[in-house]
Structure 1
Amino acid sequence: MESATSYDLVITGGHIVTESAVERKDIGIVNGVIAEISENIDPEGAAVVDARGLTVMPGVIDSHVHFNEPGLGSWEGFRTGSAALAAGGGTCFLDMPLNGIPPTVSLSALQQKRACASGRTYADYGFWGGLMPGHLKDLPLLAQAGVIGFKAFMSSPGDKDKEAFRRSDDRTLKEGMRIIAETGKVLALHAEHEPTVARLTREARSQGRLGAASYTASRPIAAEVEAVETALRYAAESGCRLHFVHISSVAAAGLIRDARKSGLDVTLETCPHYLCLTDSDFAAIGAAAKCAPPLRDAEEQAVLWRKLQEGWFDFLASDHSPCPAELKTGTDMFEAWGGIAGVQSTLELMLDEGHLKRGIPLPQLARLLSAAPAERFGLAPAKGRIAIGCDADLALADLNTSYTLQETDLYQQHRTSPYIGRSFGCRVKKTLLRGRSMYNGSEGLLNPGSGRELELRPVHSGAMNISL
């Protein structure tokens, strides 16, 4: 740059987390893009953010959220969901095709969803399309219209509304993979074997076993493993690129890792709740901690952490799946809504549990939370890193302050979270989207409606630097 006065904004004195290091440097920003990273940038003529004592991370890219529009009225929507994301250091989200009514399985449904999001978000965004029986012909049209990829369920999503998203039977899954392979898009899969889950659920309910332990037992690791095996076999036959969402077990992760070593284009995520909560927490907390697959035991969790550190998982996502508070009540865990609302806590959980308590390097966490999803889903090179030429999407966190999460701290529509009452050893202080403040710890949310739908670049097999 010719002079410091050409910067719009300078972030000074922070510990900057790049792809390979943590360095105390300044960041010069022009038109929302990082123009310089160096020591002692002259901020003359520019706005200044004093980041002394703070860690500057790339903004979280949450590739798995359910913001539930259109058609669900009082449920979480784009405004409140993205507000919670921004308050937690998030700058981009990829919204799943459910639980909105209609689900995003046609062009008209995608247009409705776009209308709901336009001008209402605190973060940039993209949309997943859905693979569902009766809508195979819509897949190429949705791909051309710019969806991130497609999502399918191998077990029942559980919504009883006749217009809701439905699971894919084997024929739909096989044919859908063939079509999606031709588009070059990724198919994201909820992998649980429906016959196993349905049988165990019927048995438990018929015997009046409705508590947390019975629900967990009805969705065993074996059901996840069997679904993963089936999906990998179909993908090998079709050439479809796969991504497995919310993997909860090391056995399933190992199968996916082996398939990738054999040449399959496949990635996987896990979620903070599998790393930070156990089946014992589910029993203690109740429906707020119900999800599918369910939380596993402490032994499984410990191995998940170890494999995360070893690079078995490609990235982390919240699987934020909120609902009205009344659906998270009662003692029948089969009837309670299945989904954890955690989008605001993702970064703080991983900084606290991953870095402060377990010593996972900050660059590794930055890759899991930002760079890897950006690469996999066509958001790079503009998104996901702190580097010259990238959007100034940044999360500033204090790793030397502690707080206990209260219900009043949450920005989501319904303030239900399994993390209420949990103490964190860090706190997000500021979130910037393209250099513009979206959240400030002292002022709250800022600049509503600044988010915009992202243009994707093509992603080809092998383009992502995948760990083996």
Structure 2
Amino acid sequence: MSLDLVIHGQLVTPSEVFDGFLGIQDGKIAAISRGELDGPLLVGPLLDVSGQLVFPGGIDVHVHVSSSELHPEGWTRLTQCAAAGGITSVIDMPYDAPQPTVNAELFAAKVQRLRAEALIDAGLYGTIRKRGGVPDIAGMAAAGASAFKFSTYETDPQRFPRIPGDELLPALRKLGRLGLPAVFHAEDGEIIDALIEQLRPRGQESPRLHAQSRPPVSEMVAVAGLLELARAVTAAGFPVKLHIAHLTVPPGFHLLEHYRSLGIDVTAETCIHYLTLNEDDLEQQGAPLKCNPPLRPAAMQEALWAEVLAGRVSCVTTDHAPWPPQLKDKANIFDNKSGMPGLETMLPLLYSEGVVRRGLPLTEFARLTASGPAERFGLAHRKGSLRVGLDADLCILDPAATHTVRAAESYSIAQHSPYQGRTLQGRITHTLLRGQIVYDGQTVTAQPGYAQFLTPEFA
């Protein structure tokens, strides 16, 4: 078989890791061979990365392209970050400034921008207005929404509202009929707002006050309520796919496991920064590490790793939400924007901290970063695994090389990295999207317009 490209390396499939050859034809994985042990070698131009790990390209289902109207990351910059980080597909959140994606017209306009400006493939979330938005779900679903995002905490009444329970119930029933995931930012506003009011006057004393204003119970209360809503609509014949975003509290994963035993279709992600940073880092670095939910104490960080290693986490994401320095430099921690960059560092960090330091199996690494999110968000028919017939999306990592994080080399608007100066074991040498090299280990080579808009397909 003559192929467009043949790659030789350590192939990480869903079930095993072996030295082999992967053949690419017309942007798809056309053949996988163990070489001489499996018959004649595949024929075609050879990219020999012997000894390096060939993973499926990363899929990040939690990024923010346009959180700021004046200082947006933007599709081009964000997808440059992704390609440099071994990530070949993203799904963007709907909370754009000044107007979130709440109807089919806004959704279609966003798809146009994606196709014109992005370098890697991407899907989109939809959301609804605080009141009266349920009828708009059908139009966005028909236009290709991967999922719908809601919040139990109100960051802004228009851009990032809390959706009240009497609106959530019909929304969940609608999504249960459509078969699309309902994704939640799960924090309890009554607990948090009272604490912020109490602590804000002291906000210059310590960045740690931000974490104290959003305690673990604020997540657990919100998650428990959402599980009961999902149980109610499922019992009524609308089996909704519930997904909890950026869960930081280890007992929350056990609660989800219990509800799964009751027949509820529920999953949860955590973010790379909750696994690699904690409250001590927030105290030291300050506002650049402010995020919601906040970083947790070191003991909880280690307990979260136990959930990852036990297989109770469905995927790891970035919640990539960068802000320029002028929006992260206020003396009072509560006056700074929340969010941080992560796309360029997620896969190297998870490899270095998870695989090298804690023994995370390579197949689990691939599940957390590729096949898990692909399956949950309807992309497994094209993405997420090294399997014949799927898109040839690859992340190639040299396990023997080290990499020191330097913010000055980043494509992000943030001009900051929480991991500045941290040396990681493992370095990404190539990123391929649909068979084309989009990152060569030094430079992102793809151009705007190469991206495809991803629409979900559920079995």
The counterpart of 1:202, out of the listed 178, 190, 197, is 197
User: Following TM superposition, by how much is the alpha carbon of 1:210 offset from its aligned partner in structure 2, in angstroms?
Assistant: 5.6
Determine whether 1:307 maps to 2:304: no
Instruction: Tell me the distance in 1 between the aligned counterparts of 2:226 and 2:408.
Output: 42
Instruction: Tell me the distance in 1 between the aligned counterparts of 2:448 and 2:363.
Output: 30
How do 1:6-405 and structure 2 match up within 5 A? 6-12=2-8, 14-40=9-35, 42=41, 44=43, 46-68=44-66, 72-134=69-131, 135-157=133-155, 159=156, 163-207=158-202, 211-239=206-234, 240-405=240-405
SS in 2 for 1:385: coil
Letter in 2 for 1:139: I
Where structure 1 has 5 or more consecutive residues not aligned to the other structure, the ranges are 460-468
Farther off after superposition, 438-447 or 379-388: 438-447
Letter in 1 for 2:173: R
Residues 132 and 165 in structure 1, CA contact (< 8 A), matched pair in contact too: no
Matching residue of 1:462: none
Instruction: Tell me the distance in 2 between the aligned counterparts of 1:208 and 1:414.
Output: 23
Deviations 1:320-363 (A, max 9, x none): 11122211112221111111211111100110000011111100
Question: How many residue pairs end up in the alignment?
Answer: 449
Where structure 2 has 5 or more consecutive residues not aligned to the other structure, the ranges are 235-239
Matching residue of 1:466: none
Instruction: Tell me the distance in 2 between the aligned counterparts of 1:196 and 1:381.
Output: 41
- TM-score normalised to structure 1 length: 0.92
Residues 61 and 373 in structure 2, CA contact (< 8 A), matched pair in contact too: yes
SS in 1 for 2:116: coil
Letter in 1 for 2:96: N
User: Following TM superposition, by how much is the alpha carbon of 1:382 offset from its aligned partner in structure 2, in angstroms?
Assistant: 1.8
SS in 1 for 2:21: strand
Matching residue of 1:440: 440
Instruction: Tell me the distance in 2 between the aligned counterparts of 1:445 and 1:362.
Output: 27
Residues 14 and 385 in structure 2, CA contact (< 8 A), matched pair in contact too: yes
User: Following TM superposition, by how much is the alpha carbon of 1:313 offset from its aligned partner in structure 2, in angstroms?
Assistant: 0.7
Superposed CA RMSD: 1.7
SS in 2 for 1:411: coil
Instruction: Tell me the distance in 2 between the aligned counterparts of 1:304 and 1:320.
Output: 20
Instruction: Tell me the distance in 1 between the aligned counterparts of 2:450 and 2:200.
Output: 47
Residues 129 and 158 in structure 2, CA contact (< 8 A), matched pair in contact too: no
Q: In 2 relative to 1, CA 441–163 (structure 1 residues): closer, same or farther, beyond 3 Å?
A: same
Q: In 2 relative to 1, CA 15–137 (structure 1 residues): closer, same or farther, beyond 3 Å?
A: same
Residues 151 and 185 in structure 2, CA contact (< 8 A), matched pair in contact too: yes
Instruction: Tell me the distance in 2 between the aligned counterparts of 1:138 and 1:211.
Output: 43
SS in 2 for 1:53: strand
User: Following TM superposition, by how much is the alpha carbon of 1:142 offset from its aligned partner in structure 2, in angstroms?
Assistant: 1.2
- TM-score normalised to structure 2 length: 0.94
Instruction: Tell me the distance in 1 between the aligned counterparts of 2:203 and 2:423.
Output: 36
Instruction: Tell me the distance in 2 between the aligned counterparts of 1:458 and 1:57.
Output: 23
Residues 437 and 447 in structure 1, CA contact (< 8 A), matched pair in contact too: no
Deviations 1:79-122 (A, max 9, x none): 10011001000000000001333211111211221121113212
Residues 84 and 411 in structure 1, CA contact (< 8 A), matched pair in contact too: yes
Letter in 1 for 2:342: G
Identity of matched residues, %: 34
Q: In 2 relative to 1, CA 280–208 (structure 1 residues): closer, same or farther, beyond 3 Å?
A: closer
User: Following TM superposition, by how much is the alpha carbon of 1:408 offset from its aligned partner in structure 2, in angstroms?
Assistant: 2.2
SS in 2 for 1:79: helix
Residues 203 and 334 in structure 2, CA contact (< 8 A), matched pair in contact too: no
Instruction: Tell me the distance in 1 between the aligned counterparts of 2:268 and 2:409.
Output: 31
Instruction: Tell me the distance in 1 between the aligned counterparts of 2:203 and 2:433.
Output: 50
How do 1:401-416 and structure 2 match up within 5 A? 401-416=401-416
Farther off after superposition, 191-200 or 140-149: 140-149
Deviations 1:204-224 (A, max 9, x none): 124556632211111000000
Matching residue of 2:237: none
User: Following TM superposition, by how much is the alpha carbon of 1:39 offset from its aligned partner in structure 2, in angstroms?
Assistant: 2.9
SS in 1 for 2:334: coil
Instruction: Tell me the distance in 2 between the aligned counterparts of 1:136 and 1:210.
Output: 43
User: Following TM superposition, by how much is the alpha carbon of 1:310 offset from its aligned partner in structure 2, in angstroms?
Assistant: 0.6
User: Following TM superposition, by how much is the alpha carbon of 1:319 offset from its aligned partner in structure 2, in angstroms?
Assistant: 0.7
User: Following TM superposition, by how much is the alpha carbon of 1:420 offset from its aligned partner in structure 2, in angstroms?
Assistant: 1.8
Q: In 2 relative to 1, CA 262–198 (structure 1 residues): closer, same or farther, beyond 3 Å?
A: same
Residues 91 and 122 in structure 1, CA contact (< 8 A), matched pair in contact too: no
Matching residue of 2:417: 417
Residues 327 and 336 in structure 1, CA contact (< 8 A), matched pair in contact too: yes
Instruction: Tell me the distance in 2 between the aligned counterparts of 1:253 and 1:7.
Output: 44
User: Following TM superposition, by how much is the alpha carbon of 1:48 offset from its aligned partner in structure 2, in angstroms?
Assistant: 2.2
User: Following TM superposition, by how much is the alpha carbon of 1:131 offset from its aligned partner in structure 2, in angstroms?
Assistant: 3.1
Write out the 4+ residue segments of structure 1 that deviate beyond 6 Å after TM superposition.
none
Letter in 1 for 2:169: K
